[in-house]
Amino acid sequence: MEFFNQLSPGWQLTIVAAIKVVGVMAVLLPMIAYSVMAERRVSALIQDRVGPNRVGPFGLLQPLADGLKSFLKEDYTPAHVHKFYYTLAPAIAMVPAFLTFAVIPFGSTLGGSEKMVIADLNVGILYTFGIVSLSVYGIVLAGYASNSKYPFLGGIRSSAQMISYEIAMGMAVIPVFMFVGSLNLSDIIQAQSGSLFDWMAFKSPMTFLSFFIFLVAVFAETNRHPFDMPECETELVAGYHSEYSSMRFALFFLGEYAAMIAGSALIVTVFFGGWTLPIAGLNLPAHSFLSGLLHIGIFIGKIAFFMLVMIWVRWMLPRFRYDQLMDLGWRRFLPLALANILATAIWLFAAN
């Protein structure tokens, strides 16, 4: 500890941030693995099946087996691809999803004064939107580099889809910032820490509409059903990752699920009070190590709920047609989000 105190503040910050990054990754990677598992089990139950139940007790070691399998498979590069971009694309698809977690407050404190967020940026949400829009490049690049028609179509679809919904997504959260008056995600959680009706989803009709548009946009951004145009098994074989195999394919998969978790984390942070829970004083920053852990647990629990929603919706709705998707994004949600901003402004003006 003394050694730590002797270091310059810059080094201290670096070391603390590095510890947090390792901690977040140590939780995030198993979460990704087990959300794949959860997806398979829940899907199976909805389809009257059982799902993977062979590896370990209740099939709980299935993710390990899947990972091992990906490593052992042949990493095949087709002759007709652009090799450099082909190799680069899976990494680009995965990295933005992980970067999003840098600004998300995943807990209050662990008893001390250190906030449980890797980078407490005061433009946190802008950073998130900036990073999330990068994730489209992985897919577009994969589609382009594969040099084959189905991945190409998948890449084109995804670029159009993600760009359209990004706008609706950005517009949708503006009413929340109008209520809170800050772009910092920690402040947004602070503003929601009162009662259940301080949670942005329930605070007012406008913020509920924001939540709804944001939720749909997150589905579109993460390429989940009913908006999984870039993959679209029935039409495009596997879309942008048709030409990939082995660990490179697994990286796309990893990135997709990391993006889902990041999306859930964003929804939870912005609309559902982050790590707070309006009972038993859990809405205040923790004073002990254990309650700090409990806050992190609450946050993960809320994320798990939204992951379940995402998995569930996959079986509820048929896939949208491409033009319907575009129509919904540009002609329904964008005007709705803009009107929502205006309504919020009027509401706030009248309230004051």
Q: Is 47 in the site for another protein (CB under 8 A)?
A: yes
DSSP string for residues in 28-61: HHHHHHHHHHHHHHHHHHHTT------SSGGGTT
Residue 305 Cα distances to 72, 117, 257, angstroms: 33, 21, 14
**How many amino acids of this chain bind another protein (CB under 8 A)?**
12
DSSP state of 243: T
State whether the Cα torsion 308-136-268-168 is positive or negative. negative
Q: Which of 29, 42, 160, 237 binds another protein (CB under 8 A)?
A: 42
At which residue do the structure tokens 């198993």 appear?
30
Amino acid at 150: Y
- Least Å from the CB of residue 77 to another protein: 33
Single out the segment in contact with another protein by CB under 8 A; choices: 37-45, 68-76, 88-96, 120-128. Answer: 37-45
Name residues contacting another protein, limited to 207-236 (CB under 8 A): none
Name residues contacting another protein, limited to 232-251 (CB under 8 A): none
- Listed in sequence order, the residues at least 6 apart from 160 whose beta carbon sits closer than 8 Å to its beta carbon are 326
Closest CA to 107 of 304, 292, 303: 292
Distance CA 321, CA 331 (A): 15
- In the bound state with another protein, the residue whose beta carbon lies nearer, of 78 and 226, is 226
- Least Å from the CB of residue 224 to another protein: 14
- In the bound state with another protein, the residue whose beta carbon lies nearer, of 13 and 339, is 339
- In the bound state with another protein, the residue whose beta carbon lies nearer, of 27 and 308, is 308
- In the bound state with another protein, the residue whose beta carbon lies nearer, of 197 and 315, is 315
Q: Which of 7, 15, 26, 50 binds another protein (CB under 8 A)?
A: 50
From the number of C-beta atoms within 10 Å of its C-beta (0-12, 13-18, 19+), residue 120 rates as middle
Rg (CA), the chain: 21
Name residues contacting another protein, limited to 275-334 (CB under 8 A): 312, 315-317
Name residues contacting another protein, limited to 86-125 (CB under 8 A): none
Single out the segment in contact with another protein by CB under 8 A; choices: 43-51, 75-83, 246-254, 279-287. Answer: 43-51
Single out the segment in contact with another protein by CB under 8 A; choices: 29-37, 46-54, 263-271, 274-282. Answer: 46-54
Q: Is 49 in the site for another protein (CB under 8 A)?
A: yes
- Listed in sequence order, the residues at least 6 apart from 244 whose beta carbon sits closer than 8 Å to its beta carbon are 90, 142, 146, 252
Phi, psi of 242 (to 5 degrees): -60, -40
- In the bound state with another protein, the residue whose beta carbon lies nearer, of 26 and 317, is 317
- Least Å from the CB of residue 317 to another protein: 6
Q: Is 48 in the site for another protein (CB under 8 A)?
A: yes
DSSP state of 78: -
- Least Å from the CB of residue 316 to another protein: 3
**Which residues of this chain interact with another protein, rule CB under 8 A?**
42, 44-50, 312, 315-317
